[in-house]
Amino acid sequence: MLLETQFAQLRKSFYHDPSPAYAARKLCLKTLRIQLLAAQAELYRAAAADFGQRSASETRLLEVLPSINSIDYSLRRLKGWMKPQRRHVGMLFWPASNHVEYQPLGVVGIIVPWNYPIFLALGPLVAAISAGNKVMLKLSEFTPEINKVLRQICQTALAGHVVVIEGDATVAAEFSQLPFDHLLFTGSTAVGRHVMQAAAQHLTPVTLELGGKSPVLIGPDIHFYDYADRVIFGKCANGGQTCVAPDYLLVPAGKEQRAAEKLRAHYQQMYPQGCQSADWTSVINPRQWQRLQQGLQDAAAAGAQIISCGQPVNADDPLRRMDLQLVLNAPLDTPLWQQEIFGPVLPIYGYRSTKEAIEFIRARPRPLAFYLFSQDKELQQRCREQIHAGGVCINDTLVHVGQDDLPFGGVGPSGMGHYHGKEGFLTFSHAKAVHQKGRFSSGMFGYPQRRAKLLDKVLDFWLGYRISDAERPDDTRQAEHQQKGN
């Protein structure tokens, strides 16, 4: 009942001001920016506490900076986004005007995951506030310390606009059943199905940011040593716990071992102390830690070769740290090939032709991201045309998500809908069509009693077909005869 009460209060508040002015939205965003910057030290300490080990540098680069960039980008462009857009008026409807105005939806629900609890809360929040909505923000139960800081930021900067909710899966299930005007969920595909089913009870539109197994295709023209660090960065950022992290690597057949050696060398350059480095992020909790170890054990039992880029996995590490583990020759029916890995484990697969590699990717559920390393323009075009993925990054990994002017979202099992930048504003707005006439309306010529006099003649010419007398309604023919008689 508490959630329903909070929802009702927000909706009532929204109806008091259903279309906030630009100045009000701008003030919210600026105040949020100020509070976020002021809370940095608390956020960095909270992130380290929730993860077990996470450097301030990692949190700043991957979460705080993108959040600030998102606010700044929206502030620079919000006035233009809010302006009504003029649209074409067909000749038959002259004189008139058409335009589209973007109206706030109302109360928006946002369900936040644990892997990027700051950015994946504030990113969609910025979009929803920019669009003029009220927001209920459901934070992950696995990041309690970060939640405390986010709650304080929202209460200080966005009081009356945002309600912060915490709780476990039971609370999340109740949350997703509220009659939101839009619901955005970021998380696993399995949970996303339940969220969509719950939202369907109220016909609530949803944006689902899920995940999947994002592939990296190394073209045959590439000297992999020149690009291995980009794969390492994308895979190891946040300890591999990223929805768009490279999930498996496709290399030309016969070069699997060589690719593994290059990855290992670059990993040791990037993390000289391996997972003991202060820049390494721990696996979030014991459940995820056990899942990753079990995946490696299942692959090894099936005959796979496990190559550690640092030290062997220490199952008893209290901080749950694991060096990057490369997996060669794992059967395709093992969990590492069947489930999203979401950790520092990278299977490698050898392909015999680029056509086979593309078909390998296409035979699997559509991923959230696809990565291609190649200078071959023809291969780049083929991959863009033939592979369906939420986003594509060529000759790099991960960084496409940080582009404020690109939409972010999945396709098929990796999600639906998108946000970031203008797309976020549009997602949380209703594009209301407005057609306006003055005192005179040409529509009168379409009224039944007036069609025969002018409109039918015009349509005879435009459509290339003349309606015969037998095809006309009796009352129209009678009206014509009366006009002729008069």
Q: Angle at the Cα of 176 (from 170 to 181), degrees rounded to 5?
A: 160
Q: Choose, from 28, 154, 243, 309, the residue flagged as catalytic.
A: 243
In the residue annotation, 154 being an active-site residue is answered as: no
In the residue annotation, 209 being an active-site residue is answered as: yes
Q: Which residues contact 302 (CB under 8 A, 6 or more apart)?
A: 330, 331, 334
Closest Cα partner for 8 from 125, 134, 105, 122?
Answer: 134
Q: Choose, from 58, 209, 256, 340, the residue flagged as catalytic.
A: 209
Catalytic residues: 209, 243
